[in-house]
Structure 1
């Protein structure tokens, strides 16, 4: 099984040395030395909390590497999760739980694109998501895809190969409404055309 190339970001040199000593013996981990040009699969970031400096660091890493981001953090509660998601974090582990086995599990999970979150945050997160759906998205006809029901319906029919006229007749809209709906999707997502919109939606699991 190939090892996962990992780039380590830790502002504290003592903590960084400790992390390297924990990860170096792990057979599934290829810990990259500073300056190594090997593209990392996972960037492991160790911080105290998600404050402004940490957020800036995460954005900088996200925009300079294609690696998936895994966060090792000392202090974290559910109010930090939206920021973590917005910064592109895939997996989170509290520093107090950072055994070599848990670190390896977090890194390999992130490398596969799987999420990882401390167990005590799952319940509050689901409560927060439910509140967002009820109070913000549903009243505006949206779901977590960022698409309205109308946009999803139109994209489904485009994906089935139907023409604008056929979509309008099937859904009971005017052709102008169908065209406006598709134009809105293409513009909002910075896409080229309706075919690109369908491909984007399928690729991201939106339809």
Structure 2
């Protein structure tokens, strides 16, 4: 009989943890571990609504301290969240709407075999992200994807679309003063002359 894959499930929400654990516990291919046996895990599954600050901290801890391969089961994921999972060496992303028993077990077995799991519609986003990493790596002195925060990226993208300060403030639910302060911080940090220069600079380096 094949060995069962030891899996550790992480979720701050006990309902999410119980749901995934219940689906896996009855399957002969999988051994669901308790926190006392965390070190034995071959696969770690992180179950979250979104990849927020708390989820990112957990993913970075697992990246640093655990030899297990990590998968994320997530309710909502966007480009920035996918970027974070790549940087944290996550090997599988599964939408919660797709997290049925067979799908979960298939993902666990794939992770245990060294494979990656990604929804088809996120593949293009991932390839775009990799392309930007490659372009950034061509200039070792240039900015990297960690140069800008997600909200700085959002603002610069809106400026590139022709929006003014008031429109950006309304769209992102910030005050105009906050928008001006954030954009001033970007131009100062990157030694740029103005907003147009900032947009052109980060677009050339593939950051937006």
> Where on the TM-score scale, by shorter chain, does this alignment land: which range?
0.5 to 0.7
When residues 38 and 64 of structure 1 are mapped into structure 2, their CA distance, relative to the original with a 3 A threshold, is closer
Matched with 1:5 is: 6
* RMSD, matched Cα: 2.0
- Asked whether the 8 Å contact 1:92–1:106 carries over to 2, the reply is no
Equivalences for 1:11-160 in 2 at 5 Å?
11-36=12-37, 39-133=40-134, 135-138=135-138
- Number of aligned residues: 140
* Structure index of larger Rg: 1
When residues 37 and 50 of structure 1 are mapped into structure 2, their CA distance, relative to the original with a 3 A threshold, is closer
Using the alignment, how far apart are the partners of 2:58 and 2:132 within structure 1? 30
- Secondary structure of 1:44 counterpart: strand
When residues 139 and 42 of structure 1 are mapped into structure 2, their CA distance, relative to the original with a 3 A threshold, is same
Structure 2 length-normalised TM: 0.62
- Asked whether the 8 Å contact 2:44–2:71 carries over to 1, the reply is yes
When residues 131 and 15 of structure 1 are mapped into structure 2, their CA distance, relative to the original with a 3 A threshold, is closer
- Asked whether the 8 Å contact 2:83–2:129 carries over to 1, the reply is no
- Structure 1 gaps of 5+ residues are 141-207
- Structure 2 gaps of 5+ residues are 141-208
Q: Deviations over 1:126-176 (max 9, x none)?
A: 23333443x423456xxxxxxxxxxxxxxxxxxxxxxxxxxxxxxxxxxxx
Q: 1:29: how far off? A: 0.5
Q: Deviations over 1:16-61 (max 9, x none)?
A: 1111111111121011123236611011110111111111111222
